[in-house]
Amino acid sequence: MADTILHDSAMRLFGDHVSPQIIAAAETGTWPDALWSSVTEAGYLDVLGDGAEGMSEAATILRAAGYHAAPIPLPETMLARWLCAAAGLEAPDGPLTIAPVEPTDQLALFGNSISGSAAYVPWAESAEAIALVGSGSVGLGHAALVEPGKNLAGEPRGRLTDAAVSASAPMPNSIGAEQVLSLGALMRAAQMAGAMEAALDLTTQYANDRVQFGRPIGKFQGIQHQIALLAEEVAASLVAVESAAARVAASHPMADTAVAAAKIRTGEAAGKVADYAHQVHGAIGFTKEHSLHHLTRRLWSWRDEFGDEAYWAARLGRRVAAAGPAGLWPLLTAS
């Protein structure tokens, strides 16, 4: 995320191809072809490489995508293509997704079919294929039975109950289902950090433009206080995501701990940022004509995906407990 050139480039790309009209159309089922083509041509889909060494670059791109509320399965496709490359499977060129994405769901692959089910699979109906994470194996499949649904932001989310498996391979020794979930959580955190940045910018602009009692409301101490609290949450989230992405890219032994902290921190910040932004905007922030709701509805949805704060707090707590009293300080200070 520290790559300013990449971030600026991604911001321009998404700014050129994402508009409130495109987002609204996507919620009704219209696929944003021009946006997807531009993302593909930019090489964003394979930024992770085959060993997650590109996670810092991926987080930078996803931060920009979240800022613009890009209505495409970009993190899902990045993650699915990385997993297929690591397992030696040839992924199709179009949009992909991955299942399962919930910590409590489990799949098992048997030949050309699966057992189990996966709830809340992102973009299952729009994806050309689904990267299936089984117990000890990876598969590429096409959804046979999907119970369609949407999250609060209007993004497709479906319950996968069956899939036709076209190819499968053993899970690489260096990868497990928990690592896949961890990378997905970090990607969602990066999207949330970007969306919160956009909410801060919208809120600051509105406070400077909206005049009450003869002066901009941003001149009132109460409004300034809310914006300062909002900015604090955004800054903390950006630092947490950037730190976690750098550790994942470097295969740092504390990478999982950093990811847990990032998902917890951005999840908690998401609710606060939405509250502060809507309080400053007043009623207008809830209207369809205003852009704020495209961001806050995603924040409310994304914080629960790839494990919510409670799941990651429990996972982090188990690691701290396992380290014992003598291991707590080294755990906190590991560079």
Which residue stretches of the chain are H helix? 4-17, 20-27, 33-41, 55-67, 74-87, 177-209, 221-249, 255-281, 292-302, 309-333
Q: Model confidence over 218-232: pLDDT tens digits?
A: 889 999 999 999 999
Q: What is the pLDDT of residue 1?
A: 45
Q: Percent of the chain scored above 90 by pLDDT? A: 68
DSSP state of 72: S
User: Would you call 96 helix, strand, or coil by DSSP?
Assistant: strand
Preceding omega of 73 cis (within 30 degrees of 0): no
Q: Is the pLDDT of residue 2 over 90?
A: no
Q: Do residues 287 and 319 touch, judged by C-beta distance below 8 A?
A: no
Q: Is the pLDDT of residue 171 over 80?
A: yes
Of 51-65, 93-107, 162-176, the poorest mean pLDDT is in: 162-176
Q: What is the pLDDT of residue 335?
A: 62
Higher pLDDT: 143 or 23? It is 23
For residues 92-119, give the mean pLDDT.
Answer: 86
Q: Is the pLDDT of residue 192 over 70?
A: yes
Which residues, including other chains, have CB under 8 Å from residue 291's CB and lie 6 or more apart? 20, 202
Tokens representing 224 are 């300034």
Maximal CA-CA distance, the chain: 71
For residues 237-248, give the mean pLDDT.
Answer: 96
At 127, is the pLDDT very low, low, confident or very high (cuts 50, 70, 90)?
Answer: very high
Q: What is the pLDDT of residue 30?
A: 95
Cite the residue boundaries of each domain of the chain with CATH code 2.40.110: 89-174
Cite the residue boundaries of each domain of the chain with CATH code 1.20.140.10: 177-325
For residues 162-183, give the mean pLDDT.
Answer: 86
Q: Specify whether the backbone of 194 is left (phi greater than 0), alpha (psi in -120 to 50) or beta.
A: alpha
Fold of 177-325: Butyryl-CoA Dehydrogenase, subunit A; domain 3 (1.20.140)
Specify the amino acid at residue 66.
G
CATH number of the domain located at residue range(s) 89-174 in this protein: 2.40.110
Alpha-carbon distance of 57 to 49, in angstroms, equals 11
Alpha-carbon distance of 226 to 307, in angstroms, equals 28
Average pLDDT over the chain reads 92
Q: Do residues 117 and 159 touch, judged by C-beta distance below 8 A?
A: yes
Q: Which residues of 51-71 are buried (b: 16+ CB within 10 A; e: fewer)?
A: ebebbbbbbbbbbbbbbbbbb
DSSP state of 135: S
Q: Percent of the chain scored above 70 by pLDDT? A: 99
Alpha-carbon distance of 12 to 2, in angstroms, equals 17
